[in-house]
Chains A and B, each alone.
Chain A
């Protein structure tokens, strides 16, 4: 799906749990997510903390969309 959309020239950031799969299929901007049953957040840490985790990941995704890349890039940290 990532490639199907991105081939129209729309940048796609893939937020996913299993990064090697994302690399294989050919996503270009990749954000490693938290866990398979809860990619964006962590409900085991309570709702407030879960929201904060999600917010950070989304902020990272928005930042990744503003960075020109010319090859597959995995954004593991907030600072880049």
Chain B
């Protein structure tokens, strides 16, 4: 008889329900061990039992945050588990946000320890690493095997109340929490050692890493929209039929500029989406759902906006590294400044 009961959370993909076409899957509970749960169960041994697995589609969760959270909490509560584990989400953005959201809610409302895991560039990581311990994983499920020992150690420590050590020792994402300890050398000595290393061009570890203030001030408001030149940018993967520049459907390394000149709307005969992160059936039928050219042309004709910049910039947002996205933004911004664009509408799926 297992001593500790665990409830595990998975998305539709890892839960074996299906891909993007099943991303609307409503939360369901299965009294079995599924997918990544198998690896965790094997590592944890017989003192631990995954008594149930909750599966929820990423889109359903993202679009119904409060409702999905309430439903899942009720499901978890029924099993009176000792711990709740979600994911890991690797580099799946919506899944990462779902894992973080549900872990935080379970901890707050049910008062049990929670644990999830993801890749450090997953948007869910920045959002939740301060609230939830997130085991560091690689960007794909192939890295699961490496992450399992850290999950196992943390689950054991958290259920038994043993002290959880720092992020480097336990393999979780830095939470920005400072813990007091007695150092062997006093501050002045450490400072001088760092200075000497720095002067010698050697690597050193600071006692106090500075937080990254990665914010940009809002651009000024447009004072006369009827004279403004507007540009459209999207991460929704809209490209001309055939994807001439071979923009990747996931983890994009490039973006493209494509014309909208002399068009009243984006026709499905000329444009398509190659985005690998959502069910494409609606957008393939009507690309204006992502690039609202039809509406903007009407606004241009009515004189409500000055003019529409004739090209749109596009890439795929899913799985794309934030560093790549920042670079695309920089290239796009530079070009739009040169072209005298006054404001940008950026759409994301």
Q: Which residues of A contact B (CB under 8 A)?
A: 1-18, 20-22, 24-29, 33, 35-41, 43, 47, 50-51, 54-55, 57-58, 61-62, 65-71
Contacts and interface: CB of A to CB of B under 8 A. Distances in A.
Chain A facing B: main interface SS: mixed
B62 interface: yes
Given A1-B332, A18-B97, A54-B292, A9 B219 contact: yes
A22 B192 CA distance: 42
A66 B336 contact: no
B3 to A, nearest CB: 36
A3 B236 CA distance: 17
B223 interface: yes
A17 B348 contact: yes
B73 interface: no
A67 B216 CA distance: 17
B341 A40 contact: no
19 contacts: A1-B329, A2-B329, A3-B216, A5-B344, A5-B346, A6-B216, A12-B219, A14-B347, A16-B348, A24-B126, A26-B216, A28-B216, A29-B218, A36-B62, A37-B283, A51-B295, A54-B292, A62-B225, A70-B217
Contact of A40 (B214, B290, B327, B332): B290
Contact of B123 (A12, A13, A21, A27): A21
A39 B222 contact: no
Contact of A58 (B215, B218, B220, B296): B296
B299 interface: yes
B62 A17 contact: yes
A66 B295 CA distance: 18
Contacts of A11: 218-222, 342-344
B305 A54 contact: no
Interface stretch (B80-88, B137-145, B182-190, B273-281): B273-281
Contacts of B326: 1, 3-4
B223 A33 contact: no
Nearest to B328: A1
A5 B231 CA distance: 11
A42 B48 CA distance: 46
Contact of A4 (B219, B286, B298, B329): B329
B218 A50 contact: no
Contacts of B153: none
B225 A39 contact: no
B205 to A, nearest CB: 27
Contact of A10 (B62, B304, B315, B342): B342
B294 interface: yes
B270 interface: no
B134 to A, nearest CB: 14
A1 B313 CA distance: 11
5 nearest A-B pairs in the assembled complex, by CB-CB distance: A4-B329, A11-B219, A28-B218, A1-B329, A5-B333
A24 B218 contact: no
